[in-house]
Structure 1
Amino acid sequence: MTLEELEAAGWEKEGEVLAKSFRFRNFSEAFGWMARVALAAEKADHHPDWSNSWNRVDVRLTTHSAGTLTEKDLKLASVMERLAG
């Protein structure tokens, strides 16, 4: 997905960070989604900054080594969207 497509899906660009809050029906769905994303993130060697509170997962993506957003962030955000269904 492009940055524009991600923004249309609810992602917000905050400086050099992409941010979004995902909401699920319950904790199990939120945690299950996080586990699936974690496997994809590990495979891509690109890891989100995120937190979970019951049915909500707050995500912030940036490429710390580059000090800016990169294609890695867009790809991981796209994976998150796909897995959130």
Structure 2
Amino acid sequence: MTEKLSAETRGPLLDPLWQTGWEMVEGRDAIVKTFKFKDFADAFGWMTRVAIWAEKWDHHPEWANCYDTVVVTLSTHEVDGLSTLDAKLARKMDGL
């Protein structure tokens, strides 16, 4: 079972994400980032690549797409907050 990030693990897992544009969601234990692409096809292609990893890891993002922009929110619903899965998927999204 996945566990909510502890105070000790938050820094090492989340600090690198702040450097790539991720932010905490106000009033919620979740992270958010806006990704911009050249056009709709690039945005949708990226979402498709992310979807493959999300399905493989059984951890699915909350996201919205409008033309060349994808806004992603990550949180683990089963722990009502952030888990290692969120940090892992955020890193994968940044790498794709």
Identify the TM-score tier after normalising by the shorter chain.
Answer: over 0.9
Query: 1:2: Cα distance to partner?
Result: 2.6
Q: In percent, how many aligned pairs have the same letter?
A: 46
**1:4-83 correspondence runs (5 A):** 4-14=15-25, 15-83=28-96
Which AA in structure 1 matches 2:86? D
Q: Which residue of the partner structure matches residue 2 of structure 1?
A: 13
> In angstroms, what is the RMSD of aligned CA positions?
1.0
CA distance in 2, matches of 1:63, 1:80: 16
Runs of 4 or more consecutive aligned structure 1 residues displaced over 2 Å after TM superposition: none
Cα deviation digits, residues 22-50 of structure 1 (max 9, x gap): 00000000000000000000000000000
The structure having more radius of gyration, on CA atoms, is 2
Q: Structure 1 length as normaliser, TM-score?
A: 0.94
SS state at 1:79 partner: helix
| More strand per residue | 1
Query: 1:13: Cα distance to partner?
Result: 1.1
Q: Structure 2 length as normaliser, TM-score?
A: 0.84
Which AA in structure 1 matches 2:23? E
Q: Which moved more, 1:57-66 or 1:6-15?
A: 6-15
